[in-house]
Amino acid sequence: MADSITITDNRTGESLEVPILDGGIDAKAWSKLLPGIWFHDPGFGSTSGAASSITELDGEAGFLRYRGYPIEQLAESSSYLEVAYLLIHGELPTPEQFENWRYEITHHTFIHENVRKRFMEGFHHDAHPMGMLVSTIAALSTFYPEARELTPDVMMKQVVRLIAKMPTLAAGAFRHSVGMPFVYPDNSLDFAANFLSMMWKTAEPRYDANPVLARALDVLFILHADHEQNCSTTAMRTVGSAHADPYVATAAATAALYGPRHGGANEAVIRMLTEIGDIEHVPAYVERVKAGDIRLQGFGHRVYKNYDPRARIIKKTADEVFEVTGKNPLLDIALKLEEVALSDPYFTDRRLYPNVDFYSGLIYQAMGFPMDMFTVLFAIPRTAGWLSHYLELLDQDSRIYRPRQLYVGHPVRDYTPIERR
């Protein structure tokens, strides 16, 4: 067998040849030879939990593809709604298919009034928008009980609703957190422009977003639409494998994203650049990083061991945004930090390159978004990716997720009544 490995149990001398298929081996072969012995892989860094046709990511080569299409081509020529269709359906839409898709998304942007009045307005005045978003997504499950019927037609209705309503919930959470009135969707606007209207509209009859900023946001949405089996996608698949409805599964994925180690990286970059304070302080800060005193935020990636392809696109998008908004004062510090780090063998030898978070926060900040909205802006586009994995999981009739563990606790011991302890 050409592409295979041989597993030998040295205790018995028994061997088993296992084929390598699509870069992996089937764990069933291991279990057959060595029952009761588990791979110990905390964080699942070397474990494939799914066979997926959605996103291909090669961290060594530094490429990212949605359904086979390079992210560079999609960011240059496509739109977020077209990419969302691609992720969900597996193919790019025809003009007629796209128009129907756009119409369906556009006309499902409104939320039930009780979601706004009973849930969103019930949160404390300074509630974090991400906490509000998690809760209101889960609440949608109670408004659409048919979502528990996991049939294709019913599921597609929920997919449309979730993609359409996510910007409405996100903008509503922000407005509540700053004491501003809720803004209803404007269905005459496209996806990104409508979200910006719900965010920033005040007393004007219609809010027309700057087209450069609306396009920049659309590109950022494309770049964040999916990223293979990360923490939040794994949460989506895990909850979905129990056949929970897509609303509570999406709420679980959003909750995972809320964690600072996943969705909060671009906030950490802004805090780091603010702490550095001046371009003259960059070399000293880098030395502190090399000494192990602090971490360099926005560099390196769990998967990418090369330059994150999304970072190159975002850097170009940043230039376009800053021509409209004026340059973010932190940009010069960021550019100097990138220059110093990429000319230092300490970072290049460790293959620490800028990732997608290094510049995205600067763009969001320049567009007026507060830092507690950064993760919310991540969740809006990632919804399409999460849902594509949810649908794939159902289509594969996947088993319920149930990892095993290595028990390291006490051996068996006898119970002692409390009065004798």
377 found inside a domain: no
Residue 38: pLDDT band by 50, 70, 90 thresholds?
A: confident
Q: Is residue 205 part of a domain?
A: no
Strand order in the sheet with 55-58: 55-58, 63-66, 69-70
Answer whether 353's CB lies under 8 Å from 304's CB.
yes
Report for 293-307, 339-353, 360-374: range of highest mean pLDDT? 360-374
pLDDT per residue over 145-177, tens digit each? 999 999 999 999 999 999 999 999 999 999 999
- Residue 159 forms part of a structural domain: no
Helix (H) or strand (E) holding 9: strand 4-9
Give percent of the chain with pLDDT exceeding 70.
99
As beta bridge partners, residue 6 has: 17
Instruction: Identify the CA nearest to 74 among candidates 196, 181, 222.
Output: 222
pLDDT bin (cut points 50, 70, 90) of residue 301 is confident
Domain membership of residue 171 (yes or no) is no
Q: Which of 108, 176, 224, 301 is catalytic?
A: 301
For the chain, how many structural domains are there in total? 1
Residue tagged active-site, from 218, 226, 308, 357: 357
Distance CA 294, CA 136 (A): 36
Burial class (CB in 10 A: 0-12, 13-18, 19+), 169: buried
* Dist CA 324 CA 212 (whole Å): 8
Annotation says 301 is catalytic: yes
Domain ranges, residue 18: 4-58
- pLDDT band at 356, cuts 50/70/90? confident
Asked, for residue 403, whether it belongs to a domain, the answer is: no
Closest among 333, 320, 334 to 367, alpha carbons compared: 320
| pTM of the entire predicted model | 0.91
Look over the chain and give the mean of its residue pLDDT values, rounded to a whole number. Answer: 91
Place of tokens 């040849």: 17
Of the CA atoms within 13 Å of residue 202, those in its CB half-sphere come to 1
3-state class (DSSP) for residue 1: coil
Look up residue 42 and give its two tokens: 């905390």
pLDDT of res. 1: 55
> How far, in Å, are 100, 101, 172, 196 from residue 104 at the CA level?
6, 5, 21, 20
- Which pLDDT value is given to residue 264? 82
CA distance 406 to 383: 34
Residue 88 has pLDDT above 80, yes or no: yes
- Average pLDDT of 256-269? 87
DSSP 293-318: SS--TTB--SS-SS--HHHHHHHHHH
Is 407 domain-assigned? no
Q: Identify whether 14 is part of a domain.
A: yes
Residue 11 lies inside a defined structural domain of this protein: yes
Per-residue pLDDT tens over the stretch 186-197: 999 999 999 999
Return the higher-pLDDT residue of 212 and 25.
Answer: 212
Q: Catalogue the long-range contacts made by 127-130 (C-beta closer than 8 Å, 24 or more residues apart).
A: 127/173, 127/176, 127/177, 128/177, 128/372, 129/170, 129/173, 129/174, 129/176, 129/177, 129/372, 129/373, 129/376, 130/173, 130/254, 130/257, 130/258, 130/263, 130/372, 130/375, 130/376, 130/379
Catalytic-residue membership of 357: yes
Strand partners, 299: 354
In the chain, the amino acid numbered 214 is A
Say if residue 403 is exposed, middle or buried (CB neighbours under 10 Å; 0-12, 13-18, 19+). exposed
Q: What number is the average pLDDT over the span 316-321?
A: 91
d(CA 102, CA 306): 36
Per the residue annotation, which of 262, 281, 344, 372 is the catalytic one? 262
> What integer is the mean pLDDT of 350-376?
90
Q: What is the mean pLDDT of residues 37-54?
A: 83
Q: What pLDDT is stored for residue 401 in this prediction?
A: 92
